[in-house]
A = this chain, B = another copy of it.
Amino acid sequence: QETKPTKFGKGIVNIVGKDSSFTMKIGARIQILGTAAWENKDGELVNPYSNMLIRRARLKFDGFAFSPNLIYKIELGFSNRDMSGSSLYTRDSPRIILDAVMKWNFHENFVLWFGQAKLPGNRERVISSANLQFVDRSILNAGFNIDRDIGVQLRHHINLSDSFVMREIVAISQGEGRNITEGNQGGFQYTGRLEFLPFGTFPGKEDYKGSDLLRIQTPKLAIGATYDFNNNAVRTRSNMGSFMITDDGLYETNISTVFVDAIFKYKGISFMGEYAYRDAEDPIVKNLDGTPTGQTVQVGNAFNLQSGYLFKKNWELSGRYSNVNYNQEITGKGLVQEYTLGASKYIVGHNLKVQSDLTYIDNEIGNGGLAYRLQFEMQF
């Protein structure tokens, strides 16, 4: 076999099997994160908090197996944050597998995915955590994203004109998130997404990367919308969040989630915006006799707007406004707003970078706060 030369950031090795019977790119990455934060009590910074951790440490394997039409992707996470979330539904074992998915291009522009992968949800979630514009994703994403699940996805794209591209994705999945071993609880989850790229596809798949590192010379825009219906969902955030436990097993209700998002890049300027909305048929979790357990589906909506400009030598300044507006009557939570200022130095693009941000948190109920983060990312 041939082991193709790779540059830093393009895989540890790129293997081409004998007679081109397969390919494999092996990648690895780590993120080292430091945080300092304070609560804001009537203008005074109190309760200082600090945290340093290996935020992510991953191995990635991708390529094709036997035929170029059969692509695989496997991603494993070994950091404690990535592996957390074990429960009796994962056999109390850590959640090491992130992705394990086959992508079969069975006909023209049609690709069938099967296995565990990210659902076609909000853009910010689908952008790899290695390729973000800020240290980490926004509170919109933390509260509303639909992450990964196991199932099938059918993907298609079509050129509506010379440059106007449309992508369509439909997915059916179990609806309880990744690494579930104990079978489907409640019903299935159905996701549909449409994407429009009126000025054509982005070079280097940059519609799914933060910042405009390529300083794209003609304006590029992508608009996306997702509708997700989780039939008889059993977790407070659709396929994420706590399992809704009652004295009679898991509580089930239909949960709908909607995302609308857009990304724009031009000559070092980048902009991304997202809106998320979640509702449930009956968001109050109840025991058999109708008494509320105290858990509720996290219904509400959220906004995220962010923009950045890439200066010379790949220094970037960026800003972000995010809010999360849960339905207060149901969840008892108030509006949270975050104002973030970011500074990044991309040494080798997203593959070797230092990112930093400062966030002012405004909390309708209780204390807000201030948080400073500094992160180092290395990706082979």
Contacts and interface: CB of A to CB of B under 8 A. Distances in A.
Contact of A378 (B6, B32, B102, B348): B102
Interface stretch (A11-19, A271-279, A299-307, A308-316): A11-19
Given A24-B12, A65-B352, A183 B17 contact: no
A152 to B, nearest CB: 9
B57 A114 contact: no
Interface in A138-179: 150-151, 174, 179
A80 B100 contact: no
A72 B380 CA distance: 12
Contacts of A184: 49-52
Interface in A1-56: 1, 3-8, 12-13, 15, 17-19, 21-22, 24, 26, 28, 30, 32, 35, 49-54
Interface residues of A, number: 69
Contacts of A66: 8, 347-348, 352
Given A28-B74, A32-B102, A86 B97 contact: no
Contacts of A54: 97, 100, 115-116, 150, 179
Contact of A91 (B4, B52, B78, B81): B81
A83 interface: yes
Interface in A173-193: 174, 179-184
A90 interface: yes
A91 B84 contact: yes
Contacts of A245: none
A100 B30 contact: yes
B8 A22 contact: yes
Contacts of A151: 52
Interface string A70-108: 001010101111011010001111111100101000000
Interface in A214-258: none
B115 A96 contact: no
A361 B368 CA distance: 57
A76 B78 contact: yes
A115 B32 contact: yes
B12 A15 contact: yes
A14 B27 CA distance: 15
Contacts of A102: 32, 376, 378
A83 B93 contact: yes
A57 B97 contact: yes
Interface of A: 1, 3-8, 12-13, 15, 17-19, 21-22, 24, 26, 28, 30, 32, 35, 49-54, 57, 61, 65-66, 72, 74, 76, 78-81, 83-84, 86, 90-97, 100, 102, 114-116, 150-151, 174, 179-184, 347-348, 352, 376, 378, 380
Counting from the closest, the 7 A-B pairs by CB-CB distance are: A51-B183, A84-B91, A8-B21, A83-B93, A5-B18, A8-B22, A1-B5
Given A50-B183, A54-B100, A84-B93, 10 more contacts: A6-B18, A7-B17, A8-B66, A30-B74, A30-B100, A49-B184, A53-B180, A65-B378, A65-B380, A80-B91
21 contacts: A5-B18, A6-B18, A30-B74, A32-B100, A51-B184, A52-B150, A53-B150, A53-B180, A53-B181, A57-B76, A78-B97, A80-B95, A80-B181, A81-B181, A83-B96, A84-B91, A84-B92, A84-B93, A86-B92, A86-B93, A93-B94
